[in-house]
Structure 1
Amino acid sequence: MRNRHLIEAKAEGLLQELGIHAAPVPVDRVAHHLGARIHLRPFDSRDVSGMLFREDGKPPIIGVNALNGEKRQRFTIAHEIAHLVLHPGKPLILDRQVKVNFRDATSSTATDEEEMQANAFAAALLMPKFLVAERLHHHLERDAHVADVDIVKRIAADFDVSIQAMEYRLTNLGLLSPA
């Protein structure tokens, strides 16, 4: 993916701007700082986990599927924040032109550059490299013989993210060997 370092830097810069130096990252606070409103509602399907709705002159709205678990909702908010920061959106005509980004089943298929960037930004926002490395060091210092699966579970709990998300993040940061 192009611009991975830029994406990491943008996410980290946003956290620094807000003075967030501990996990878990309060994604709702980040969204509000950017002027976005979060609406948690059940969607017709679990296939769409979120959307970003932008209309000129109005605050952006991050719609989050209430049918999904809390950890997925947190990732969805971070993903939509990424679209808000990185992408202008795609026009959609309702009764007037608006711009919408959807987080759906294709978001994680690694086929759409904007979706890959949004996922990378969301991971960097929720699991910033400097905090992940610090928590990893902390857990290893306490128990040097801990199994990889247990360390991933512990750090995932620290960041209030799924075990799978943390496993991907640790692997992408080069802090865990791929299984």
Structure 2
Amino acid sequence: MRIIDPMTVIDRYAAQTPVPIYDILQDLGLGPEFRALDSDISGWIERRDDDRYAIVINANHAETRKRFTAAHELAHFIFHRDLLGDGVGDNRAYRAVNTPFANNQILPVHERQANSVAANILMPKEAVYRLQASGITDPKELAARFRVSEEAMRIRLGVPRVAAE
């Protein structure tokens, strides 16, 4: 079996906006699989019998959420594979609890790392800067271009959240 470097695959697609996260997963043999899950579960990465992994995503969530979950679980695959065991699931707050793959090896620090890496994959700084330089600076419009939530883009840009009206 040929080993594929995940970062090489990510780099191959990084210049595209939006980054085609599902193509990245397919190239790495990680799925994705979309299933109707409880609304509190965003998805998980699981180890299969043949020692391969698959990423499962809640089909009922918004597309922006599905994309972030895909990138988040990919980050676990890249950086936390030695901690995964049979897998790790993530609830809506991206915490590895109350899912079929609750995993006490995955700590809050690992979840924060996975969130940060997911943001780097879906919203590469160079691509964000390029759009900003072209005059697109509104977080909502940038979020639409990258197919991420406005909240994720605001966090990426370091822009405060808008108070609920």
Alignment partner, residue 114 of structure 1 = 110
Q: CA RMSD in A?
A: 2.4
CA distance in 2, matches of 1:52, 1:119: 14
Larger Rg: 1
Unaligned runs of 5+ in 1: 1-9, 92-98, 141-147
Tell me the alpha carbon deviations over residues 133-170 of structure 1, each in whole angstroms, 9 at most, x when there is no partner.
11111125xxxxxxx7xx10111111011111100011
Q: Describe the SS at the equivalent of 1:49.
A: strand
Q: Which amino acid aligns with 1:136?
A: Q
1:77 to 70, 82, 106: 70
TM-score normalised to structure 1 length? 0.73
TM-superposed deviation, 1:103 = 1.6
2:27 to 30, 33, 39: 33
Tell me the alpha carbon deviations over residues 23-65 of structure 1, each in whole angstroms, 9 at most, x when there is no partner.
100001111122211110111x211101001136343111111
Q: How many residues are aligned here?
A: 146
CA distance in 2, matches of 1:14, 1:129: 17
**Misfit runs of 4+, over 6 Å:** none
1:123 to 107, 119, 122: 119
> What percentage of aligned pairs have identical amino acids?
32
Please tell me whether residue 61 in structure 1 is matched to residue 61 in structure 2: no
CA distance in 2, matches of 1:11, 1:32: 11
Whether the 8 Å contact between 2:35 and 2:57 is mirrored in structure 1 is yes
Alignment partner, residue 145 of structure 1 = none
Q: Which amino acid aligns with 2:47?
A: R
Task: Name which of structure 1's ranges 30-39 and 68-77 shifts more when overlaid on structure 2.
Answer: 30-39
2:40 to 36, 44, 47: 47
TM-score normalised to structure 2 length? 0.78
Q: Describe the SS at the equivalent of 1:119.
A: helix
Whether the 8 Å contact between 1:79 and 1:103 is mirrored in structure 2 is no
TM-superposed deviation, 1:20 = 3.4
Q: Which amino acid aligns with 2:48?
A: E
CA distance in 2, matches of 1:113, 1:48: 19
Q: Describe the SS at the equivalent of 1:25.
A: coil
Change (3 A) 1:133 1:11: farther
Please tell me whether residue 101 in structure 1 is matched to residue 95 in structure 2: no
Alignment partner, residue 15 of structure 1 = 10
Higher relative contact order (CA 8 A, sep 6+): 1
By percentage of residues, which structure has more helix?
A: 1
